[in-house]
Structures are given as structure tokens and as C-alpha cells.
Amino acid sequence: MSDEKKVVIVPCSGIGKTYGTVSREAAYDVVEDLRPDEARLVPLSMLVLGDEGARAAVDGSQAITIDGCKLACATKMVRDSGGTIARDYAVLDAYRRHKAFKPAGIAELNEGGLQLAHALAEEIAAEIDKMKEEESTDDTDDTDLRQEEATFLKSKTDLPQYQQTTTGKILPSVQSVKSVDSPTEVDHA
Ligand code: SF4
């Protein structure tokens, strides 16, 4: 899949915070292991620095953000960069859903932190699958509509053309009679 079609994942930078580290670990898990063909990572730091490539990647894209605290830097920055938030995740909420995985550590996460990151990454991967499924359903609907429209237009061109005679009757035109097997006379009186 081309990069433009991939879902953009933006984790918060959260340097020095355990939940920030979990957000980045989860993002790497998604783009490197779980859904490398459907998702790509855009670092928050690049957006903050105003990097053109990062801003272009986010602008007009469907993005999933992962924030380490309620300041929600990743979500705010993606919005400011013109991106659409398909889903915003907060690590604290993920912890509430997976209380067995208690994270600790900053530069390096403990086992609980890694497990929490992985559980969150699995949730994000499932969300990406849902988004891609909806996208393909929309594409199919568009194709069906175009086919119906084409069939309708063709049926219109198959109809005989009519013309009014001097007696006021409406008859198929000579050209149409040639192309229609059994033209029907239409009494206009
Ligand atoms: S969301 Fe919180 S943890 Fe993440 S970068 Fe912002 S302040 Fe730091």
C-alpha cells in the first residue's frame, strides 16, 4: 500500500514519562510488527518542529493518536496540522482496560509496560482493520452507484425517439424504427 493510503499513527513524545514511553512502544508495535502495510508512524516531535514532510503526511489523512496524559499533545498537534482524528487513545484508559499490566520505567519499560503497550497496539490494529473495511465498503458502494447510473443512461439511449406527425399523432422517428423491432404507435389525441 502506498504511504499516502496508510493510516497515520502519532504517539506523544512523552519523554521522561512512563505512559509516554508506552505510547511510543505501542506505536512501534503497530507500524513495525502488527500492521506495517496499513500504518505508518509520524513522530510528534517532527510535527512540533514544523517539518514539512510530517505535516504533509498528516494533512488530510486519517490519523490515530496515542497520548500519555490528559494534555493530549499528539491529538492537538494532529488537529493543528490539518489531520483528521479517526481515533484518539490515552494510555491511562488502556491501563484501566488492562489493569493486569502495570507499567513502570521510562527509558526502558518493565514487563508490565511492554505488555500494556502490546495490548494497546492490538486494539489499534483492530481499529485499523475496521477503518480499512469501511473504506473498501465505501469504494464498493461508489462502484455500484456508478454501474447503476451507467445502466440507467444506457436504457435511456435504447428508447425510441418520437416525432409528431402532421395529424397530431406521435410516432417513433424513422431512425428509431430502424433500431427498434416493434415500435408502438402512441396516440396523442
Ligand atoms: S501528552 Fe502528556 S506525556 Fe505526552 S507529550 Fe504531552 S505532556 Fe508529555
Query: Is position 179 within any domain?
Result: no
Query: Is position 186 within any domain?
Result: no
Which residue lies with its CA nearest to atom 5 of ligand 1?
Answer: 14
CB-ligand 1 contact for 29 (6 Å cutoff): no
Query: Is position 106 within any domain?
Result: yes
CB-ligand 1 contact for 177 (6 Å cutoff): no
**How wide is the angle at C-alpha 72 spanned by C-alphas 70 and 74, nearest 5°?**
160
Spans of the chain below 70 pLDDT? 139-146, 149-189
CATH at residue 93: 3.40.50
Strands 7-11 and 39-41: parallel
pLDDT tens-digit profile of 33-59?
999 999 999 999 999 999 999 999 999
Domain ranges, residue 13: 3-141
Which ligand 1 atom lies nearest to the CA of residue 15? 8
Cell of 178: 430502424
Query: Is position 155 within any domain?
Result: no
CB-ligand 1 contact for 68 (6 Å cutoff): yes
Query: Is position 37 within any domain?
Result: yes
The partner residues of 84 in beta bridges, in order of sequence, read: 62
Per-residue confidence (pLDDT) for residue 183, from 0 to 100? 46
Whole-angstrom CA distances from 159 to 47, 96, 154, 189 are 59, 65, 9, 22
Per-residue confidence (pLDDT) for residue 2, from 0 to 100? 80
CB-ligand 1 contact for 11 (6 Å cutoff): no
Q: Count the domains in the chain.
A: 1
What counts of helices (H) and strands (E) characterise the chain?
7, 6
Query: Is position 99 within any domain?
Result: yes
Which ligand 1 atom lies nearest to the CA of residue 69? 2
CB-ligand 1 contact for 13 (6 Å cutoff): yes
CB-ligand 1 contact for 71 (6 Å cutoff): yes
Per-residue confidence (pLDDT) for residue 166, from 0 to 100? 66
